[in-house]
Structure 1
Amino acid sequence: MREILLVVDVQASFSPPHWLVTGIRAVANRMPSVATVERHDESRTPFERQLGRHPAADDASLVDVDRVFIKYGYLPPREMLDHLVAMKPERVLVCGMQTETCVLAAGFMLFDAGLTPTLVKDLTVGSSIDRSGELGTSLWRHHFRQLITVAELDAQA
């Protein structure tokens, strides 16, 4: 099966747990992979004005991938979507930070583009409102149905 891994916002300013970074690195080493990194530019996305906080202006991905796409705000950039569509994957495995916000936003964008977003549910962490990621996982299941675990990926290999 032609799969691509999308790593969402696994970067120092979001303090990902070590187990998450290690787990994602192991999967990224096995297949084509891309990542998003969220950076702050108040002229593009009003994080500071509206939320009183913001990501770093110069953060980098903590996972080595084939290509990194910089984003400003919740949605992945159009260039990333165009790149993934051109690769024609059977499914896009999605993992990373903030299951119920940025990860879910990526899922909607992939779905709307005709791709098959599949959440790697044990390689995501929710936001501070639900660090377990269960809210995001439930929303993902409701909207896209496609979920997988690392053990299920290993069994398919």
Structure 2
Amino acid sequence: MKQALLIVDTQPSFPVPAEIVQGIGRLSAVIHSVATVERHDESITPFERQLGWKPSKDDVSLVAADRVFIKHGYLPPPAAIDYLAGLKVDRVLVCGIQAETCVLAAGFALFDAGLQPTLLKWLAVGSSLDPSGDLGARLWAHHFGAVLSSPDQLGLG
């Protein structure tokens, strides 16, 4: 099975447990990977005005990836989705930060593009609303079905 990894917003602006960064890093070293990085531009996405919070204007990915795409807002940029579609993969493994918002938004974008998004629950962190990521995983399972709970389910061996 041909797979790619989408790493969502694993960056300094968000509290990312070291074990998540390390786990994603180990996986991105053995599978083609794409990362998104959320950067602040109030003229594009009104984070500060509406939420009183904003990501940095110069964050970088905490995990090395084959390609990095900058985004503004919850959705991955269309160029990232087009790039993943161009890889002709059987499924896109998704991990990262904000399981019930940005990670879920990536799932919708991938699904709408005809790709098969698959959440890696052990490598996904929720927001301050649900740091465990359980809410995001439940929403993901409801909308897309495919949630893996451990690395032995990846089929990489």
User: 1:54, 1:151 → 2: CA distance?
Assistant: 36
**How many angstroms does 1:156 deviate by?**
4.5
Percent identity of paired positions between Structure 1 and Structure 2: 60
Query: Structure 2: where are the runs of 5+ without partners?
Result: none
User: 1:29, 1:150 → 2: CA distance?
Assistant: 14
User: 1:59, 1:15 → 2: CA distance?
Assistant: 13
What's the RMSD between the two structures over aligned residues? 0.8
Structure ranking higher in helix proportion: 1
Give, as a single letter, the amino acid of the residue that structure 2 aligns with 1:133. Answer: G
Aligned counterparts, 1:25-104, within 5 A: 25-104=25-104
**How many angstroms does 1:152 deviate by?**
1.6
What SS class does the counterpart of residue 76 from structure 1 fall into? coil
User: 1:118, 1:3 → 2: CA distance?
Assistant: 10
Q: Tell me the equivalent position of 1:137.
A: 137
User: 1:15, 1:100 → 2: CA distance?
Assistant: 15
What SS class does the counterpart of residue 61 from structure 2 fall into? coil
Aligned counterparts, 1:113-124, within 5 A: 113-124=113-124
TM (norm. structure 1) is 0.97
Q: Tell me the equivalent position of 2:16.
A: 16
TM (norm. structure 2) is 0.97
Runs of 4+ with >3 A deviation: none
Q: Tell me the equivalent position of 2:126.
A: 126
**How many angstroms does 1:15 deviate by?**
2.0
What SS class does the counterpart of residue 101 from structure 2 fall into? helix
Q: Tell me the equivalent position of 2:151.
A: 150
Number of residue pairs matched?
Answer: 156
